[in-house]
Amino acid sequence: MEFADYVAQRRPALMRFATVLTCRTWLADDIVSDVLGRAFEQWDRISAMAEPHAYVRRMIVNDYLSWRRRLFRTAPRAEVEDHAAEVGDGADERAERDAMIRRLARLPRRQRTAVVLRYYAGLPDAEIAAQLGCGQTTVRSQIARALAALRIDLSASPRAYQETR
């Protein structure tokens, strides 16, 4: 498969994956662009693999995790209020998706990555463990902790959940 064909077919899916992973569309666009730029340079090797899309998705996960580490080391730390204006279009599913992305954004990055790989990308524990570089039991515990945190979040603020619906 030619690189241009791959990008035409898979870029929208990669953007959705990165957006759910990062919870920020601008960051997802940056990561996907950077990853596709690096993938272009190595496309002969990547396209010869059995699963080139899985490899590119792994590149996105690695770039996201390393971006977070770089940002944490270099960014000044201060309490800043989030003034993100919500634009409602009246669609219930969009409001639910936005609420879920906000809840996902509160999770630690490894837990969020594990949840996104499991429930968004539909990967089994073994593949998630391979992508995160940890054991399958660690993947299961990360997902269990994340789901527990999401349940606590929902039960702790039922009014906030109803307002987002």
Contact by Cβ (8 Å): 128, 141:
no
Using the 3D structure, point to which of 17, 45, 74 is the last residue of a domain: 74
Q: What is the CATH number of the domain that holds 165?
A: 1.10.10.10
Looking at the domain assignment, is residue 47 inside a domain? yes
Report how far residue 57's alpha carbon sits from residue 52's, in angstroms, rounded to the nearest whole number: 9
Residues 109 and 164 both lie in one domain: yes
Report how many domains make up the chain: 2
- pLDDT in the model for residue 165: 39
pLDDT mean by block of 10 residues, the chain; 165 residues: 92 93 89 93 93 93 78 57 55 79 89 90 92 93 91 56 42
Contacting residues for 12 by C-beta, under 8 A, at least 6 apart: none
Looking at the domain assignment, is residue 82 inside a domain? no
- pLDDT in the model for residue 88: 47
Looking at the domain assignment, is residue 4 inside a domain? yes
Looking at the domain assignment, is residue 81 inside a domain? no
**pTM recorded for the entire structure:** 0.56
Residues 56 and 103 both lie in one domain: no
Burial class of residue 121 in the structure, from the number of CB atoms within 10 Å of its CB (0-12 exposed, 13-18 middle, 19+ buried): middle
- pLDDT in the model for residue 162: 44
- pLDDT in the model for residue 17: 93
Residues 1 and 56 both lie in one domain: yes
Report how far residue 78's alpha carbon sits from residue 144's, in angstroms, rounded to the nearest whole number: 30
Report how far residue 67's alpha carbon sits from residue 35's, in angstroms, rounded to the nearest whole number: 12
First to last CA, the chain: 43
Using the 3D structure, point to which of 21, 48, 74 is the last residue of a domain: 74
Report how far residue 121's alpha carbon sits from residue 133's, in angstroms, rounded to the nearest whole number: 17
Residues 98 and 161 both lie in one domain: yes
The helix or strand, by DSSP H or E, that contains position 70, with its residue range, turns out to be: helix 52-74
Looking at the domain assignment, is residue 86 inside a domain? no
Domain that holds residue 32: 1-74
